[in-house]
Structure 1
């Protein structure tokens, strides 16, 4: 997996993500897409991408989350997702889990909320988008995972709701990645 391969696969990935957002109705909320994330299965691949991304951006965070390094790279030239710009890429080093495919894995959207945990975030999301009730209730083919990942230095609670279907994932949380990083200092 190289930077060039990622750049050439972005249009297909972004089109699939846009369709998934539309299916969920998230496109109606005009949410900010604060970052997108990659998946790699080897430390060597992660180190190679870290080196290649250094030519296209700046590492603004290198934090331990769930026992593994996760880099946030602010891009010199943002990625486009319809009318949204995405200026950060999350590059997690591999953990114990191996992924069926390396490359683009998910995007993360910011739903402005004061939620400190997933139940409140879920209620806020349902208030904005009531048609998600069957999805959040587990009554559709979309898998839903709620979590509260936290970096070693983070002070800002950022509960997350992940929607997964067909190898795609869209995560919703109340704070953008730059606000989370700012909470570390």
Structure 2
């Protein structure tokens, strides 16, 4: 745990950093023209570069919730912990934490990395999801081609675990070390689809 404390990664330290992280998320949302207050922020994710640190964090966060799943995605475990009490952040109640074990890529900073919002849709791929996003957020629709100039990286993907039945295409918007991801289904719904 000493290593976690040194890196500022103990759950208590991370919870104390949450308001500053959420302020950056809200600034990015504003820049993108995303009005997310009425959408579900279903989970928050952190990133670490060290396997030992990931194991320690995994154990430490279990004091705050229950493990919903551990899934191999892109060759590494991704743990999802459902909070006993959702994290309250502005208008949102975040119900889960996503903790990926490190892969080959090293992150420039460890700690909170992204938050995912559910934009309900029947989209089965990123093209259909883009249509949904354009309808939900007209301001975003008018500036897709300008995002790169604003220093915002956009990535469309359709990540999936081995047993998932529910396709969950995702758009990720990244700037200044924080990232907003938008997808049609909550992590809980995706995990429940694996059990079907």
Q: Which residue of 1 aligns with 2:12?
A: 4
| Mean CA deviation greater in 46-55 or 125-134 | 125-134
Structure 1 length normalisation: TM-score? 0.95
Q: Which residue of 1 aligns with 2:172?
A: 162
User: 2 CA distance for matches of 1:173 and 1:85?
Assistant: 17
1:90-101 pair list within 5 angstroms: 90-101=98-109
Deviation at 1:177, TM superposition (A): 0.5
User: 1 CA distance for matches of 2:178 and 2:104?
Assistant: 20
The partner residue of 1:127 within 135, 140, 154 is 135
Is the 1:106–1:171 contact (alpha carbons within 8 Å) kept by the matching residues of 2?
A: yes
Deviation at 1:135, TM superposition (A): 4.0
Name stretches of at least 5 consecutive residues in structure 1 with no aligned partner.
none
Q: Which residue of 1 aligns with 2:5?
A: none
Deviation at 1:29, TM superposition (A): 6.3
- Describe the shift of the 1:28–1:182 C-alpha distance in structure 2 as closer, same or farther (beyond 3 A): closer
Residues 137-179 of structure 1 deviation map (CA, whole Å, 9 limit, x = unaligned): 3544221100000011111000000011111100000000000
Deviation at 1:7, TM superposition (A): 1.4
User: 2 CA distance for matches of 1:130 and 1:29?
Assistant: 16
Deviation at 1:76, TM superposition (A): 1.3
- Describe the shift of the 1:149–1:97 C-alpha distance in structure 2 as closer, same or farther (beyond 3 A): same
Is the 1:135–1:144 contact (alpha carbons within 8 Å) kept by the matching residues of 2?
A: no
Q: Which residue of 2 aligns with 1:171?
A: 181
Q: Which residue of 1 aligns with 2:64?
A: 56
Is the 2:114–2:180 contact (alpha carbons within 8 Å) kept by the matching residues of 1?
A: yes
Structure 2 length normalisation: TM-score? 0.90
Give aligned pairs, total: 185
| DSSP 3-state at the match of 1:4 | helix
| Mean CA deviation greater in 174-183 or 127-136 | 127-136
* CA RMSD in angstroms, aligned pairs only: 1.3
The partner residue of 2:39 within 31, 38, 63 is 31
Is the 1:2–1:48 contact (alpha carbons within 8 Å) kept by the matching residues of 2?
A: no
Is the 1:18–1:81 contact (alpha carbons within 8 Å) kept by the matching residues of 2?
A: no
